[in-house]
Amino acid sequence: MPTTNLKQTFCSFRERCIWLQTCVNTFEALYSSSHCVEKLLRETAPAFFGDLNTILQEYILLQICNLTDPADSYDATLRRKVPNLTVAHLNELLKAEGLLTVQIEAAANNLAHYRNLVERSRNKLISHLDKTTVLAGTVLGEHARSDIDAFFENLYQYCDGVGNSVLEGPLDFRVTSGPGDVMDVLKYLNGGVYPRD
């Protein structure tokens, strides 16, 4: 039987995953859905939507790295290590309670693969501004669409595996739409009709 601390930690972790999915869904709706949407954004406010594109990309990479950071980090104020709400920390808790399965571990390892692709970008251009990287105009973190798709498939598998292990069950959070979301914004900008190709 999982401890309350493990269940609470997992539920909080999954909420962060849902938030990440919401950000990705917003990005996809704005920048990957159709030529009509692209045209609508360009005609409405090209500078704003161009800036928002960059903001969302950086924020999504930051959130992905946050979720896949080490299990703990040193807090200089407290002068000790403190746990991070991450895959690695959850795995430590699962292992301590004998609930870490081969499937959960495999999904976690696959999540780490994507982190390895984007971590330098997070460290040198998003969390910190490495002067040499910025001045050189170095591009970091390039990867294929299939890499991000694989990351999210592994994230769903990871969350469902842990959810089953801690008796919370699986939860499909691929769709996060609701009233007042990006779809309503696009509909409003297009005169009350959702833009379609």
Mean pLDDT of 171-194: 93
164, pLDDT greater than 80: yes
The predicted model scores a pTM of 0.93
The pLDDT score that the predictor gives to residue 3 is 83
The pLDDT score that the predictor gives to residue 10 is 98
pLDDT in tens, 129-147: 999 999 999 899 999 999 9
pLDDT in tens, 91-110: 999 999 999 999 999 999 99
Mean pLDDT of 61-85: 95
The pLDDT score that the predictor gives to residue 23 is 97
Residue matched to tokens 């795995």: 91
The pLDDT score that the predictor gives to residue 4 is 85
The pLDDT score that the predictor gives to residue 194 is 84
The pLDDT score that the predictor gives to residue 27 is 97
Q: What is the mean pLDDT of the chain?
A: 95
197, pLDDT greater than 90: no
pLDDT bucket at 196, cuts 50 / 70 / 90:
confident
pLDDT in tens, 15-54: 999 999 999 999 999 999 899 999 999 999 999 999 999 9
177, pLDDT greater than 90: no
SS (H, E, C) the chain: CCCHHHHHHHHHHHHHHHHHHHHHHHHHHHHCCCHHHHHHHHHHCHHHHHHHHHHHHHHHHHHHHHHCCCCEEEECCCCEEEECCCHHHHHHHHHHCCCCCHHHHHHHHHHHHHHHHHHHHHHHHHCCCCHHHHHHCCCCCCCCHHHHHHHHHHHHHHHHHHHHHCCCCCCCCCCCCCCCCHHHHHHHHCCCCCCCC
C-alpha separations of 117 from 54, 64, 111, 175 in Å: 18, 11, 10, 25
